[in-house]
Amino acid sequence: MYPLSAIAATNIPMQKRVYIETYGCQMNEHDSERILRLLEGSDYLETKDAQEADFILINTCSVREKPEHKVYSALGRYRWLKEKRGVIIGVAGCVAQQEGERILSKFPLLDFVVGPQKIHHLNEILGEVEGGRRRVCEIGFEDNVSANTILPHSTQHRAFVTIMQGCDNFCSYCIVPYVRGRERSRPSHTIISEIEALVQKGTKEVILLGQNVNSYAKNDPHELTFLQLLAKINEIQGLERIRFTTSHPRDFTEEFIESFAGLRRLCEHIHLPFQAGSNTVLRRMKRGYTKEEYLAKVIKLREVVPNASITSDVMVGFPGEKERDFAQTLDLMRAVQFDGLYSFKYSPRKGTGAARWRDDIPAEIKQRRLEILQEFQRGITLRKNKALESDVLEVLVEGCSRNSPREMMGRTRCNRIVNFPGGDDLVGESVKVKIEVGLTNSLRGELCYKEEKIC
Ligand code: SAM
Ligand code: SF4
- For the sheet containing 158-162, what is the strand order? 158-162, 205-209, 241-245
CA of 157 to the centre of ligand 2 (A): 29
Would the CB of 275 count as within 6 Å of ligand 1? yes
Give the C-alpha separation, 48 to 31, whole Å: 17
Does residue 391 surpass a pLDDT of 60? yes
Give the ligand at the shortest distance from the Cα of 276.
1
Please name the residues in contact with 332: beta carbons below 8 A apart, sequence gap of 6 or more. Answer: 274, 277, 291, 294, 295
The reply to whether ligand 1 has any atom less than 6 angstroms from the CB of 38 is no
What was the pLDDT predicted at 306? 93
Q: Whose CA is nearest to atom 25 of ligand 1?
A: 346
Ligand 2 centre and the CA of 278: distance in Å?
Answer: 18
Closest residue to atom 1 of ligand 2, CA basis: 174
Residue 155 confidence class, pLDDT cut points 50, 70, 90: low
Looking at all shown ligands, the one closest to residue 245's CA atom is 1
152 pLDDT above the threshold of 70: no
Number of the ligand closest to the Cα of 312? 1
Q: Is the pLDDT of residue 158 over 50?
A: yes
Ligand number, closest to the Cα atom of 366: 1
- Proximal ligand: closest to the CA of 248: 1
Q: Which residue CA neighbors atom 9 of ligand 1 most closely?
A: 63
Residue 123 CA to ligand 2 center (angstroms) comes to: 31
Residue 168 CA to ligand 2 center (angstroms) comes to 8
Does ligand 1 come within 6 angstroms of the Cβ of 272? Answer: no
Decide whether any atom of ligand 1 lies within 6 Å of the 273 Cβ.
yes
pLDDT tens by residue, 186-203: 999 999 999 999 999 999
Residue 104 Cα to ligand 1 middle (Å): 27
SS3 call for 438: strand
Atom 2 of ligand 2, residue of closest alpha carbon: 171
pLDDT higher than 90, residue 12:
no
Is residue 43 in contact with ligand 1, taking CB distance under 6 Å?
no
Average pLDDT estimate for 88-115: 91
Ligand 1 touching residue 180 (CB < 6 A): no
The DSSP call for residue 152 is: P
Check whether 434 has a pLDDT greater than 50. yes
Give me the mean pLDDT over the 374-400 stretch: 97
pLDDT of residue 70: 85
Q: Would you say residue 167 has pLDDT above 90?
A: yes
Residues with CB under 6 Å of ligand 2 are: 167, 169-171, 174, 176-177, 211-212, 248
The answer to whether the CB of 354 is under 6 A from ligand 1 is no
Q: Which residues contact 381 (CB under 8 A, 6 or more apart)?
A: 338, 339, 340, 341, 440, 441
Sign of CA dihedral 427, 430, 431, 435: positive
Stretch among 50-64, 148-162, 273-287, 352-366 having the lowest mean pLDDT: 148-162
127-131, 314-318, 418-422: least confidently modelled range: 127-131
Cα 170 off chain centre by: 19
**What sign has the CA pseudo-torsion 163, 169, 175, 181?**
positive
Distance of CA 174 from the midpoint of ligand 1 (Å): 6
Higher-pLDDT residue of 115 and 311 is 311
Residue 342 CA to ligand 1 centre (angstroms): 10
Q: How far apart (Å, rounded) are the C-alpha atoms in residues 46 and 423?
A: 26
The whole-number pLDDT of residue 42 equals 82
With a 6 Å cutoff on the Cβ, whether 429 touches ligand 1 is no
| Ligand 2 centroid to residue 176 C-alpha, Å | 6
Mean pLDDT of 109-137: 90
Provide the pLDDT for residue 455: 33
pLDDT band for 4, please (50, 70, 90 cuts): very low
| 29 close to 316: Cβ distance less than 8 angstroms | no
Mean per-residue pLDDT, 272-297: 98
- Other CB atoms closer than 10 Å to residue 101's CB: what's the count? 11
Which of 13-22, 138-147, 168-177 has the highest average model confidence (pLDDT)? Answer: 168-177
Whole-number percent of the chain with pLDDT over 70: 93
Specify the higher pLDDT residue, 311 or 405. Answer: 311
Backbone angles phi, psi at 237, to 5 degrees: -65, 135
